[in-house]
Structure 1
Amino acid sequence: MMTQTWEQMRIVLNDRTLLGISLGSWAVFLGLLVGLALLFRILMAVAKVRSRRLADRSELPLHDYLCQILDHTWPISIVALAAYLAQTLVDFRGSIDPTAVAVGDTIRALSLIVLFLQAGRWGMGLIDEGLTHGFRFANFSESAARTAHGVVRFFALAGLWGIILILILGSFGVEITPLLAGLGVGGIAVAFALQQILGDIFCSVAIVLDKPFEVGDFIITGDHMGVVEFIGVKTTRVRSLGGEQIVFPNSDLIGSRVRNYKRMAERRVTFGFGVRYDTPADILQRIPEEVRETIESLDQVRFDRAHFAKFGDSSLDFEVVYYVLSPDYNQYMDLQQSINLSLMRRMESLGVEFAFPSRSLYVEQSAGRSQVSGFTGTSS
């Protein structure tokens, strides 16, 4: 009785069709689909746990790459792989019914598209992991790695998805060779039309490789200055001291002189001051030593020289050079302020007055008439 029931059911499933395919074939297809999907899901869960343990215990990057592949796997991709294998085993395309062939082709095409997109997602994860390990191996600083990551990732992803697109077209029977030839000819025309944009793109590669500046550096180029916030494929964005964002084409920065103050190891400072012309010579001789003592009493500075440099129009001028052992601008200004205040106190103790622009008039009596002559100098 049971045997007759199964036989009748088999006959019914084989005789009745849906979209040109017997219900029996559909049942086998769905059974394979569910079974394979569950099997792949279980295998992936086990592999994810084991690979994570291996990655935590080992320093080899291979386990990290495997974790990236498993973490970037879509659940729909497991279903697509199961559907592709199931339709191959059932062989919908072997039917003489055109509808059945179309259904088989559709299942195969949709499965391949999902699988190719999954391959692209795996590639993205491997690229990110590879860049992280590569920059670490090359001893890139954190700011340099951020600078290079965006540009290198853009070109890597462009190449990856270009290959994925070619594979998808090839799987659908599209002739790739004429397409590539057409793209080559068209690419030349596009290159001429977009040469400025392409120039900026290649300049971004030069910035990444040569590293004249990085994200976080304070730079000056031309009349503009600020902190580098972002280095993109086409432009670099700088936050100015006034708060606004300045956007530079990469080609402009490569073609101009850039002063990078973040790379400064120490700051050379030159300043001067003038005293009155009526200052005695022995006091003038003591002033450079007073300046030396003032600067050497401070931390984070290195004294270089102090000299009575020249006779100015209205003052006796001194020139001082010292080094701040830090690139920080605020620290430099604090030190310069301390030096200025200390020099004022020392000059007061010596009885020396700082000069300011003035003009003295001398009136002479000559042959019964008055003659006025001028002298530019310190008033007395």
Structure 2
Amino acid sequence: MSAANAPLISVKHPLPWQHYNLSTMGEEVRLWLDANLIEMIIAIAAGTLIYLALRVARRQLRRLKNRPGDEHSFATVIGRTFTRTTHLFMILVSARLVAGYADPPALLLTTIRFLFTVVAVFQVAIWVREFILALIERRTGENGHAETLSNAMGIIRILVTVALFAIATVVVLDNLGVNVTGLVAGLGIGGIAIGLAAQGIFSDLFAALSIIFDKPFRRGETIQYDQTIATVERIGLKSTRLRALTGEKKIISNTNLLQKEISSFQELDHRRIALPFGVIYQTPSEVLETLPALLEEIVNAHGGRFVRSGITAYGASSIDFECLFDVYEPDFAHVAKTRHRIAVEILKRFADEKIEFAYPTQTSFTAAPDGRMIYPYPDLDGAYVTSIKSD
């Protein structure tokens, strides 16, 4: 047979029991029972006690798993893992521990060892699978991400199960004397081909898992990416759905979203408000000096925390001021109301103090007949009269 037509699985050496026939096996069993009856009874009793002890231990671990108020502790993960122990595994553990005491025939001892190896490999796969899934749920459930986990748990369970049981199958076949080199190579090539074909899907899937474990945001949070501010409605396996402040629905792939700079407003305990305004140039310097203290009084009396205030620039028609203050409230609607109250109070106090807000103005000057700049209106004494000569 050519190398191209070689089977993926081949037997390296004959199995131990292939040397036996039924007559030989029956004779060995009869002679063993005649010579070791007492030892066999003791071994069965000891195996039964071991099995019962394993059942009691599993029952205690189940209580650890179901302990109220401690759903996300590491002890609960351990309890959940080992409660998946099967009865067949406990029976074979008991048989394997006492098999050598009664000096059984080689075929029986080989069979017990073989069955124990097969069942133990798959039992370890079940334990590891349950341990991984429990750790994932513990990791995501501690901080209220159970709703996000439900979207991805199905695919995670499938991926973990397929990977672990494929490894377990290869290990069992290898213990059976099967040459699994070709099988492993075939699985590797097939996995690479599937990975390349579904590269985009797997990229978004692993991005979704990254969102679940790293927790940059969660459902219900308001976030900003690029120029978009939106609330997260659902985190899927391929895309995340958001609701923009303007009402439209935004859908973006998980990979694309994680590549952006994301700002979250969820844990924002305060917002800083900048309130710019301008006063006229005719405002006395003494009043300008007292303005910061007046603004601080207004801000602190109406729910804000004053930061600073002062002149920022000399404008074309105003002396520009800025008032900075913090509002310690995450709800932006409350922040907007506080800003409104402070702005209205500033307007009232400025009116009481005869402080005038500036607005765009322009003053024109006219040249007298002798070339001097004069105000464009005749003075009261009649010294100058503006004449406009038209062509």
Taking structure 2 as the reference length, the TM-score comes to 0.57
Paired position in structure 2 for 1:146: 147
Counterpart of 1:335 in structure 2 is: 338
CA distance in 2, matches of 1:336, 1:62: 50
Letter in 2 for 1:286: T
Q: Which residue of 2 aligns with 1:196?
A: 200
- SS of match in other structure, 2:292: helix
Whether the 8 Å contact between 2:224 and 2:263 is mirrored in structure 1 is yes
- Distance, in Å, in 1 between the alignment partners of 2:309 and 2:343 is 14
The CA deviation at 1:356 is 1.7
Counterpart amino acid of 1:253?
L
Change in 2 beyond 3 A, CA 1:67/1:335: farther
| Matching of residue 247 in structure 1 with residue 251 in structure 2 | yes
Residue number in structure 1 paired with 2:286: 282
User: Which structure ranks higher in relative contact order (CA pairs < 8 Å, sequence separation ≥ 6)?
Assistant: 2
For 1:256 and 1:359, locate their aligned partners in 2 and report how far apart those are by CA, in whole Å.
Answer: 47
Change (3 A) 1:291 1:194: same
1:243-268 CA distances to partner (integer Å, 9 max, x unpaired)? 33211112212211111111323222
Q: 1:11 matched to which residue of 2?
A: none
**Contact 1:68–1:129 (CA under 8 A) maintained in structure 2:** no
| Structure 2 unpaired stretches of 5+ | 1-57, 86-121, 377-391
For residues 166-188 of structure 1, the C-alpha deviation after alignment (integer angstroms, 9 at most, x for no partner) is 88999999997645432321332
Which protein is richer in helix relative to its size?
A: 1
> Separation in 1 of the partners of 2:366 and 2:68?
96
Q: Distance in 2 between matches of 1:57 and 1:367?
A: 100
**Percent identity between the two aligned chains:** 27
Q: Deviation string for 1:8-57 (max 9, x for gaps)?
A: xxxxxxxxxxxxxxxxxxxxxxxxxxxxxxxxxxxxxxx99xx7899467
Q: 1:320 aligns with which of 299, 304, 323?
A: 323
**Which digits, 9 at most, give the CA deviation of each residue in 1:96-132, with x for residues without a partner?**
xxxxxxxxxxxxxxxxxxxx9xxx9999988766544
Counterpart of 1:37 in structure 2 is: none
Q: Which has the larger radius of gyration?
A: 2
Distance 1:66 1:195, change over 3 A: closer
Alpha-carbon spacing, 1:254–1:171, altered in 2? closer, same or farther (3 Å): same
Question: Which residue does the alignment assign to 1:108?
Answer: none
1:69–1:126: 8 Å Cα contact kept in structure 2? no
The separation in 1 between residues aligned to 2:270 and 2:196, in whole angstroms, is 46
Residue 189 to residue 370, structure 1, CA distance change in 2 (3 Å): same
Q: Which residue of 1 aligns with 2:349?
A: 346
Distance 2:359 2:182 in 1: 82
What amino acid maps onto 1:141 in structure 2? N
Q: CA–CA distance in 2 between the matches of 1:141 and 1:277?
A: 56
For 2:208 and 2:222, the matched residues in 1 are separated by 18
Maintained 8 Å contact 1:52/1:63? no
Q: How does 1:256-295 map to 2 (within 5 A)?
A: 256-295=260-299
In the aligned structure 2, how far is the partner of 1:197 from the partner of 1:247? Answer: 16
What is the SS of the residue equivalent to 1:239? Answer: strand
Q: Output the CA distance in 2 between the equivalents of 1:192 and 1:341.
A: 63
Matched residue of 2:321: which SS?
strand
Q: Distance in 2 between matches of 1:328 and 1:57?
A: 35
> Could you list the per-position Cα deviations for residues 223-274 of structure 1 after superposition, in whole angstroms to 9, with x for gaps in the alignment?
2221112222221221112333211112212211111111323222222111
| CA RMSD of superposed structures (Å) | 4.4
Asked if the contact 1:291/1:343 (under 8 Å) is kept, the reply is yes
Q: Tell me, which stretches of 5 or more residues in structure 1 are unaligned? A: 1-46, 71-115, 374-380
Provide closer, same or farther for how the CA distance between residues 123 and 315 of structure 1 changes in structure 2, counting only shifts above 3 A. same
The answer as to 2:234 corresponding to 1:230 is yes
- What amino acid is the match of 2:289? Q
Deviation at residue 318 of structure 1 after TM alignment: 0.6
Q: 1:217 deviation in Å?
A: 1.4
Instruction: Report the CA distance shift for 1:135/1:290 in structure 2 as closer, same or farther (over 3 A).
Output: same
Superposed displacement of residue 290, structure 1: 1.2
- CA distance in 2: counterparts of 1:169 and 1:54, whole angstroms: 31
Separation in 1 of the partners of 2:305 and 2:322? 16
Name the residue aligned to 2:76: 61
- 8 Å Cα contact 1:221/1:258 also seen in 2: yes
Q: 1:312 to 1:54 in 2, by over 3 A?
A: closer
Q: Take 1:292 and 1:369, find their aligned partners in 2: how far apart are those partners?
A: 46
Q: Which residue of 2 aligns with 1:88?
A: none
SS in 1 for 2:275: strand
Q: Please give the secondary structure, in 2, of the residue aligned with 1:294.
A: helix
Which amino acid in 2 is paired with 1:215? R
Letter in 2 for 1:243: G
Flag the 1:58–1:365 CA change in 2: closer, same or farther, 3 A.
closer
Residue 384 (structure 2) pairs with residue 364 (structure 1): no
Q: Distance in 2 between matches of 1:189 and 1:54?
A: 41
Deviations 1:348-374 (A, max 9, x none): 00112212223222223243799999x
Check whether the contact 1:283–1:350 (CA below 8 A) recurs between aligned residues.
no
Query: What is the total number of aligned residue pairs between the two structures?
Result: 280
* Secondary structure at the counterpart of residue 357 of structure 1: coil
Mapped partners of 2:251, 2:69: distance in 1: 44
